[in-house]
Amino acid sequence: MAIDTRELMKQVRTIRVVTGKLVEEHLSGEYHSVFKGQGIEFDEVREYQPGDDIRAIDWNVTARMGHPFIKRYCEERELTIMFLVDVSGSQGFGSRDRSKAEVAAEFTCLIALSAIRNQDKVGLVLFSDRVEKFLPPRKGRTAVMRLVREVLAAQDTRRRTDICGALRFLNNVQNHKAVVFLVSDFLDGDFVRDLRVTARKHDVIACPVADPREMEIPDVGLIEVEDPETGELVVLDTSSERFRSDFSAEMSRRQEELMEIFRKLKVDVLSLRTDKPFVNDVRQLFHRRQARARRT
């Protein structure tokens, strides 16, 4: 069932206020230093001054004016930020105050608001086992708010996950290099090949979203659970210590495998959880990227 429009707009306004404060108080200036432009662009010509690099001399202008002029360049600042957000059935799950879909929307808003402060473009691909919505990159606060609305409105999609399809779609529609935030619980099969291709073309940051109940099940006796993507019903005996232990071990193994994939592909990771704030994790990601940039 689709989310009520008034409730949706209330959530959008709340997220805008909360994330706006976070940007002001914690991320101001850091985004700009981390996500730099993709190169340099011509700015102007000016008269040569002693000490200038002679390699920068514009010989055409120099010949016309009769004395030396040099070309000046500036950083090509504008970036394109693309959000690939998983809206499959499993994203609606949340054992605490927020679902994974709501965390994805809050995170998207936080980064998008930081982006528009730097005059960058923001775009969105919502995906399940198909591309549900595509918003081409645009500038401005209106573009950001539409992003958040679309992520929230799609939170009850009851479909499976196809990360490969989303990555292929992005590579087809986004010709120029972009910073790509892939927000998903990664409950999918083999997406390594397509992620490798995308990471070579774009600056990819993987953002796995998790809920604590996906890692550890409490002892509540016999329970019937439904797979939100397939509709399959399963009865679990959570009173069994062995079952709980095996479940936690399997989830930890999957998590380790996922992190190893990102490590091998040299993809940055920002883990998001439904049970804790993520702004400090965002800042830590920024600091890691800054440190790495200084070493290169």
Per domain, the residue ranges of the chain are 5-34+80-295, 39-76
Instruction: Answer yes or no: is pLDDT of 250 > 90.
Output: no
* DSSP secondary structure, 94-146, as one string: -SSSS-HHHHHHHHHHHHHHHHHHTT-EEEEEEESSSEEEEEEEE-SHHHHHH
In single-letter form, the type of residue at position 280 comes to N
Q: 19 by DSSP, 3-state: which? A: helix
User: CB under 8 Å to 78, separation ≥6 — which residues?
Assistant: 37, 119, 120, 121
Q: Could you read off the pLDDT of 5-33 as tens digits, one per residue?
A: 566 566 656 656 555 555 565 555 566 55
pLDDT at 260 over 90: yes
Most confident of the following: 22-26, 271-275, 277-281: 271-275
**Does residue 3 surpass a pLDDT of 60?**
no
Computed over every residue of the chain, the mean pLDDT equals 80
Confidence band for 135, pLDDT divided at 50, 70 and 90 = very high
CATH architecture of 5-34+80-295: 3-Layer(aba) Sandwich (3.40)
Does residue 268 or residue 73 have the better pLDDT?
Answer: 268
Give the pLDDT mean for 223-235.
68
- Per-residue confidence (pLDDT) for residue 149, from 0 to 100: 81
Assign 82 a pLDDT band (cuts: 50, 70, 90).
very high
Q: Which residue is associated with the tokens 């790509």?
A: 180
Percent of the chain with pLDDT over 70: 77
- Residues 296, 292: Cα–Cα separation, whole Å: 7
- pLDDT tens digits, one per residue of 283-295: 888 878 777 767 7
Q: Where are the alpha helices (DSSP H) in 123-232?
A: 141-153, 163-173, 192-201
Give me the mean pLDDT over the 139-150 stretch.
83
Q: What is the pLDDT of residue 172?
A: 93
Q: For 159-186, how does the pLDDT look when each residue is reduced to its tens digit (9 = 90+)?
A: 788 999 999 999 999 988 899 999 999 9
User: In this predicted structure, what is the pLDDT of residue 14?
Assistant: 62
* Per-residue pLDDT at 203 exceeds 60: yes
The residues near 27 (Cβ < 8 Å, ≥ 6 apart) are 110, 114, 279, 282, 283, 286
The pTM of the full predicted model, rounded to 2 decimals, is: 0.76
pLDDT score for 74: 46
Provide, for the chain, the percentages of residues in helix, strand and coil under a 3-state DSSP scheme, each rounded to the nearest 5: 45, 25, 30
Contact 273, 210 (CB under 8 A): yes
pLDDT at 290: 74
